[in-house]
Structure 1
Amino acid sequence: MAYIAPEGASAYCIDRWEAQVVEVDGRKERSHAPTTPVTNLLVKAVTHSGVVPQGYISKNEAEAACKASKKRLCTGDEWERVCRGKHPTTFPYGDERKSGYCNDSGRAPIVSLHPGMGDEVYASAEAMNDPRINQTPGTVALTGSFSKCKNGYGVYDMVGNLHEWVSDMQGSRGTFRGGYYQDTHLNGDGCKYRTVAHDPSYHDYSTGFRCCADVR
C-alpha cells in the first residue's frame, strides 16, 4: 500500500493496484475468476501487480471485500487526492491526456457478443455481466502493465482500466471514479471522472475497486 499524509487531514493508505478477490469458506480461501460476478459469495480483497483485476462487482460487494481484508473503500476525496498525485494534475501523469499512457482506448464487444439486441443490450444485466467481455483482447489489462499510468505516490491505473467504487453516496446512488478502458472523459477528465448513475447493488463488466486503510 502507499502511505498518504495530506496536510490538515488524517493519514491513510491506499492499494497500489486495483483489487482482485478470493472466495472465503471458513478458514479456506480459493481463487475467483475476475471476469465473473461475486453475487452471493463471501469474498476478500487482495491486490497484486500483473493480474487481471476484479470487474463485475457492486459497491456493496466491494465494501464487504475490503472489510474482509481489514480495509475499507476510499472516500471520493481520498481517491482523487491520490489520483492527482503529490503535485495535483488532471491525470496521474500530468494535465494533458497522453495516448497510450493509461488503458483508456479499449472497446467492449457487448453488441457483437449479443447481436440482434441493439441498444437494449445496455439495459440487460445478463449481457452487461457477460464474462466474455473482459476476456476479449483490448479490454481490461493486467494491473500495473501500463507503466506510465502511475502518479507520484506510485499508485497505478487510477484512470482507465476499470471504474473504481468509492464510499461516497449521492442520495440512493453509489459513486465510482476514474473511468474505464473505453471511457475516461464523458463524466469528467481523468482523475475528475465521477459517475453516480447506479445504485450500490449495481455491477457490470466495467466496475472494479481498490481499498484504503486507516493509519493506526
Structure 2
Amino acid sequence: MRLLAATGMWAAGAMLVATAHARTIEVVPRVATRSAPAPKLAPGSPGTIGWAIAQQEKKVRFKRAQSEGALPERDPDGTCPAEMANVDRRFCVDRWEGSLEELLEDGSTQPWPATTVLDLTKQYRAVSAPGLVPQAYISGTQAAEACRKSGKRLCEASEWRLACAGREGTIYPYGTTRVERRCNDYGRAPMYSFYPQVEKSWALVTNTDMNDPRLNLLEGTVAKTGEHPGCVNDWGLYDMVGNLHEWTADPNGTFQGGYYLDTLINGEGCAYRTTAHDIDYHDYSTGFRCCADLLPGSGLDDDE
C-alpha cells in the first residue's frame, strides 16, 4: 500500500511537472505592432547629464565644486556672433575651443603658437574658428583675460554644462553613451615619451615638465578644432568633450570636459570636472572657450 501511495504521488507530481513544462513551451502568436518613437529622456534618468553628475557626486575621487549658480534668463530676441552658438536663448558660446592672437603695440594682431606657454609680458585675445590648433598651456586667469580682450568672458559652470549636454541634456554631446573615436578622447599619454619617471611617481615631474612644448607636438595628442566632425551637439558646439580641458569661471579653479587622454576619471563626458588646481595653474592639457551675453536683435538666427 505504501508503495502504491508513493507511486501515485510520484505520478501526480510528474503530471504537474509535465503540465508546467508544457505551459512553458506554449507558443503565443505574434501580433504585428508599429514601433513607437523613442521617448524623450526625463531629467535625471540614466543617460542624462543630471544622472551622471548625481552618480559622480556619490564618489569622493575629487573635491566637490562650489555652487554652479543660476542660468541667465531667456531672451527670445537675443542673438550671437557668427562664431558663437545661441544656447537655449540664454547666452552665447564659442563653437570651437579657443586659440590666441597676440596683441601688438601698433594695434594689429598675430597668431600665437598654441603649443607654447604664454609670455607674461604680452597681451592676447581669444579666437574661435575651425581648423586651428587650440591653445593649451593656459591658466584660468589667462583664459579669462583673453576672453575679456575679445569682448567675451569665461563660461559659468552651469552655462558650460548646459551647452555641452545639448537640448536633450545627455552625458555626451552626441548622445547617452560614449562612441569610440567620436571625439578626441582616445589619444596617447605624452608624458611617458619624455619623462618615463612618471611610471614610478608623478611626484618626480615638475611644473616645467608638465608645460613642455614638445608634449602636444606628438601625434595622437591635441587635434585641430572641428577635426572630429562627429563630436558636436545640436547647439553646433564642437569638441566640448575631449581634446583639451576647458576652464570655467570658478575663482577657485575648475576645468571641465576632459582632454585627449581622459574623459572619465573625474566624471563622464559632460559631467567631467577637475577642481584639484587653482585658477593660475596650467599644463599641456588645459584649454578654454569663451561665453558671452546675448546681443540685442531680432532673434532670427541659425540656432532657432
What TM-score do you get using the length of structure 1 for normalisation?
Answer: 0.93
Map Cα deviations across residues 177-216 of structure 1 (whole Å, 9 max, x no partner): 0000001000000000000010111000000000001013
CA RMSD of aligned residues (A): 1.4
- Of 239, 245, 252, 1:163 maps to 245
Does 1 or 2 have the higher relative contact order (CA < 8 Å, sep 6+)? 1
Report how many residues are paired.
Answer: 209
Of Structure 1 and Structure 2, the greater helix share is in: 2
CA distance 1:121–1:108, shift in 2 (3 Å)? farther
- Of 118, 124, 134, 2:206 maps to 124
Matched residue, 2:294: 215
What's the CA shift for 1:66? 0.1
Q: Which amino acid aligns with 1:13?
A: C
Q: Does 1:97 align with 2:178?
A: yes
**4+ residue runs of structure 1 moved beyond 2 angstroms?**
114-123
Matched residue, 1:30: 110
Q: Indicate conservation of the 8 Å contact 2:117/2:138, yes or no.
A: yes
Name stretches of at least 5 consecutive residues in structure 1 with no aligned partner: none
| Distance in 1 separating the partners of 2:164 and 2:279 | 22
What's the CA shift for 1:108? 2.6
Q: Secondary structure at the match of 2:163?
A: helix
Matched residue, 1:142: 224
Matched residue, 2:64: none
Q: Which amino acid aligns with 1:140?
A: V
What's the CA shift for 1:36? 0.4
Matched residue, 1:76: 157
Map Cα deviations across residues 101-156 of structure 1 (whole Å, 9 max, x no partner): 00001013212213456424664111100111111000001101111110010100
Q: Indicate conservation of the 8 Å contact 1:3/1:14, yes or no.
A: yes
After superposition, residues 165-180 of structure 1 pair within 5 angstroms as 165-169=247-251, 173-180=252-259
Q: Secondary structure at the match of 1:212?
A: strand
Between the aligned residues of both structures, percent identity stands at: 49
Q: Which amino acid aligns with 1:4?
A: V
Q: Indicate conservation of the 8 Å contact 1:111/1:121, yes or no.
A: no
Q: Secondary structure at the match of 2:177?
A: coil
Name stretches of at least 5 consecutive residues in structure 2 with no aligned partner: 1-83, 296-304
Q: Indicate conservation of the 8 Å contact 2:197/2:204, yes or no.
A: no
| Distance in 2 separating the partners of 1:106 and 1:120 | 19
Q: Does 1:151 align with 2:233?
A: yes
Of Structure 1 and Structure 2, the greater strand share is in: 1
| Distance in 1 separating the partners of 2:213 and 2:116 | 5
Q: Which amino acid aligns with 1:149?
A: C
Determine which structure has more spread, i.e. the larger CA radius of gyration: 2
| Distance in 1 separating the partners of 2:182 and 2:202 | 33
Q: Secondary structure at the match of 1:146?
A: coil
- Of 36, 39, 42, 2:123 maps to 42
| Distance in 1 separating the partners of 2:229 and 2:132 | 14
| Distance in 2 separating the partners of 1:60 and 1:119 | 29
CA distance 1:137–1:122, shift in 2 (3 Å)? farther
| Distance in 1 separating the partners of 2:193 and 2:224 | 23
- Of 143, 148, 170, 1:62 maps to 143
Matched residue, 1:199: 278
Q: Which amino acid aligns with 1:3?
A: N
CA distance 1:195–1:43, shift in 2 (3 Å)? same
Q: Does 1:4 align with 2:87?
A: yes
Q: Indicate conservation of the 8 Å contact 1:24/1:30, yes or no.
A: yes
CA distance 1:84–1:120, shift in 2 (3 Å)? closer
Q: Which amino acid aligns with 1:28?
A: S
Q: Secondary structure at the match of 1:79?
A: helix
